[in-house]
Structure 1
Amino acid sequence: MVLGYVNGKWAVQDKGFSPAGCYEWFKGNRPKVPWARLVWNEWVLPKHQFIRWLIVHGALRTNDKLVLYGMDVDDRCYLCSQATKRSDHLFFECAYSKKLIHSINQKLGCHIPETNVLDWCLHRTGTKMQLGVQAAVVWGAIYHIWQQRNKCKIDCAVTRPENLSEQIIEEVKARIRGRDFQHMTKAELDWLSLKNLYVMVD
């Protein structure tokens, strides 16, 4: 069965055509990356996933990137006004970012570190649901930190970390409400309740 066209010849699949086989053929053999399950996670909002995907590829237009492009920009962080030429300062060495994570930890009873957050994400333990919800919280924080950075750059104003943490938590709750609670164990529901994320839907 014909599968595709390669180097001037038609490639043939012995087992016959299937959409899955065709997709695998187009994708090719590529090494797995450790962050894939963290970025493409069913609990994380798509817009949050996209920002995270840009980060792992070093594609966010942070000030250090703009300098490399030959642009004359201030090297200070827009959120904390500290001079830095490092692209990873914003997540989570910036004082604003640390305050945001601290506020989230207080409200959810979590233990997300205020530094090395991305390393922590790669070494967490828990059920698939717990890991997914934790990822949703962290990527939500990353997305909104980037939004606040741009807001500060343009409008010279930011949302208080305490208020922003509430917005992030509400987005995670909305995502959770869209899940099927019938397929969750009692232990998982208890965990969500303990983190103030479990909302009964009539």
Structure 2
Amino acid sequence: MDYKPSTSSSWVWRRICWVKEEMRDGYVNGKWGVQPEGFTPAGCYDWFKGTRPRVHWFKAVWNGWALPKHQFLGWLIAHEALNTTARLASFGLDIEDKCHLCGLTPETTEHLFCECLYSRGIIRELNKETRWNFPIRDVLDWCMQRKGTVLQRGVQIAMMLGTVYQVWHQRNKSRNKNLLIRPECVARFIMEEMRSRVRGRDRATMTIAERDWLKRMRLVE
């Protein structure tokens, strides 16, 4: 534990030794004294991470049915870190803050995913496909309020995060390439992407009621 790397050591080795210094407080009389069972990588990670209360949006963002890129976008929204034009303009950047999809109002997160005419067009088409109402005022609140089994909640949240991702994707295409696909085409892509996710799951783990629910949602035949 007293070892010090030389100044000529590689960056990687110096970083490893830096981690060792960070772990020093976890050792008592030369032994790992934080966990009674002794040192484990998982225990060390938990010790580094510390104890924090779980955030309220945890299950809405880190949903196993959603794709990682969709989860990451949800995480940005949860942290209010999505670079909408309104947010960038608030930093003092000399840019137009209007929505790149409708061009009517400042592009805030709430407007982009809940109020924009283009986004609402996508949601309207999804309502037609699924026969299920998609009222949105706040994306994460909507996700957290889902009812039903684990599968039903997971599918609904995954579809919502997929919708949010596609809205952001189309927004970026409109901004960078001046190209915008019709809402009904985007909705069909979201549905097919969700069908692929459902097809990849083991049907044997689904109850009859869940399979019937997926049929009503038009996610399985």
Q: TM-score, normalised by structure 1?
A: 0.89
Contact 1:43–1:136 (Cα < 8 Å) also in 2: yes
Counterpart pick for 2:115 among 67, 74, 93: 93
Question: Deviation per CA, 1:70-99, whole angstroms, max 9, x where unpaired?
Answer: 211112111111122633210111111111
Q: 1:59 aligns with which of 81, 88, 93?
A: 81
State the alpha-carbon separation in 1 of the partners of residues 103 and 25 from structure 2. 59
Q: Is residue 49 from structure 1 mapped to residue 65 from structure 2 by the alignment?
A: no
SS at match of 1:26: helix
Cα deviations by residue, 1:140-193 (Å, 9 ceiling, x for unpaired):
000000011111111222111111000001111111111111111111111111
The reply to whether residue 158 of structure 1 matches residue 180 of structure 2 is yes
Counterpart contact for 2:85–2:97, Cα < 8 Å: yes
Which of the numbers 25, 30, 36 marks the counterpart of 1:9? 25
Alignment partners' CA distance in 2, 1:106 and 1:198: 16
The one of 187, 197, 200 aligned to 2:219: 197
Pick which of 109-118 and 89-98 moved more. Answer: 109-118
Q: What runs of 5+ residues in structure 1 fail to find an aligned partner?
A: none
1:128 and 2:136 are equivalent in the alignment: no
What 5-or-longer segments of structure 2 have no aligned partner?
Answer: 1-19, 28-32
Identical-residue share of aligned pairs (%): 45
Whole-Å separation in 1 of the counterparts to 2:203 and 2:21 = 45
Q: CA deviation at 1:124?
A: 1.7
Which whole-Å CA distance do the structure 1 matches of 2:141 and 2:76 have between them? Answer: 17
- Which of 35, 50, 74 lines up with 2:57 in the alignment? 35
Measured in 2, the distance between the counterparts of 1:87 and 1:108 equals 25
- Alpha carbons of 1:117 and 1:87: their partners in 2 closer, same or farther (altered >3 Å)? closer
2:136–2:142 contact (8 Å) kept in structure 1: no
By relative contact order (CA 8 Å, sep 6+), the higher-ranking structure is: 1
Counterpart residue identity of residue 51, structure 1: L
Tell me which of 70, 93, 101 is aligned to 2:92. 70
Amino acid at match of 1:97: S
**Aligned length, in residue pairs:** 196
Q: Which has more radius of gyration? A: 2
Of 179, 184, 187, 2:206 maps to 184
Letter in 2 for 1:80: C
Greater mean deviation of Cα atoms: 164-173 or 70-79: 70-79
Q: What is the CA-CA distance between 1:42 and the residue it aligns to?
A: 1.0
